[in-house]
Amino acid sequence: MKRISIIGLPVAVTTYAKAVEWILDRAQRKDRAYAVEAANTHVAALARSDQSFGESMQQFDLICPDGMPLVWTLNAKLSAEEKLTDRVYGPTLMLETLKATQGKSEFKHFLLGGKQSTLDKLIHHFAEQFASVQIAGVHSPPFGEWPENELETIVEKSRIWSQSHLGRSRLPKTRTLDRAT
């Protein structure tokens, strides 16, 4: 997928359809985890002004343009045939991904982030809207600085789910979640 640097952030020239196709393709690979971000101008500016954050963002595999200023900047560097007509808004990208995985048992979704009450509402909504989509689990990490063992807690929750579903899914027995330090 073509990427163009916007103030140092490699933003993909993509639409919802292309991004969902990319996500589903990578989800079927079992080689490693892939990181996707729907970045707006705040994220782009923060990646430029905060070296640590910027270095982390460089590790992402797909950065979608979630903001019209990013789309306009991309379009200024694209030919007429390549120009984008819309942003790739993160919540809509999630819904489009869920929609694309309906009835496909090989895809599982793990919801990470937000308040537990928000995750509970999402699960309820998804059960109504996407009855055949499989939610593998959820985790609501603390807001702000994470306790030292928080990443391990998330990995363990994912591992517990994975081990209890071995034989019913095509997940590998072990998975690694790397974090930039």
pLDDT of residue 141: 80
Q: Which helix (H) or strand (E) holds 12?
A: strand 9-12
Can you give the pLDDT at residue 137? 84
Q: Which of 65, 89, 113 is the last residue of a domain?
A: 89
In a domain, 96, yes or no: no
Q: Could you tell me if 1 and 83 lie in one domain? A: yes
What is the pLDDT at residue 32? 83
- The residues, any chain, with a CB within 8 Å of residue 9's CB and separated by 6 or more, are 39, 43, 44, 47, 48, 54, 57, 63
pLDDT value at position 176? 33
CA distance 164 to 181: 30
The C-alpha atoms of residue 105 and residue 160 are separated, in whole angstroms, by: 19
Residue 95 lies in a domain: no
The pLDDT, as a whole number, for residue 23 is: 96
Residues 78, 106 within the same domain: no
Same domain, 142 and 166: yes
Number of domains making up the chain: 2
pLDDT in tens, the chain (181 residues): 999 999 999 999 999 999 999 999 999 987 888 899 999 999 999 999 999 999 999 999 999 999 999 999 999 999 999 999 999 999 999 999 999 999 998 998 888 888 999 999 999 999 999 999 988 888 888 777 777 887 787 777 766 655 554 444 333 333 333 333 3
Q: Which of 33, 67, 89 is the last residue of a domain?
A: 89
Q: Which residues pair with 6 in a beta bridge?
A: 9
9 with 71, same domain: the answer is yes
pLDDT value of residue 28: 92
Is 50 inside a domain boundary?
A: yes
**Residue span of the structural domain in which 173 resides:** 101-181
Question: Are the C-beta atoms of 64 and 40 separated by less than 8 Å?
Answer: no
Q: At residue 165, what is the residue type?
A: H
Give the Å distances, CA to CA, from 41 to 18, 20, 26, 46.
21, 22, 26, 8
Q: What is the pTM of this model?
A: 0.80
**Contact of 10 with 4, CB cutoff 8 Å:** yes
Whether 106 and 83 share a structural domain: no
Residue 18 pLDDT: 98
94 in any annotated domain: no
Pair 109, 52 in one domain: no
Q: What is d(CA 71, CA 39) in angstroms, rounded to the nearest whole number? A: 11
Residue 94: what pLDDT?
Answer: 95
Give yes or no: residues 108 and 180 share one domain.
yes
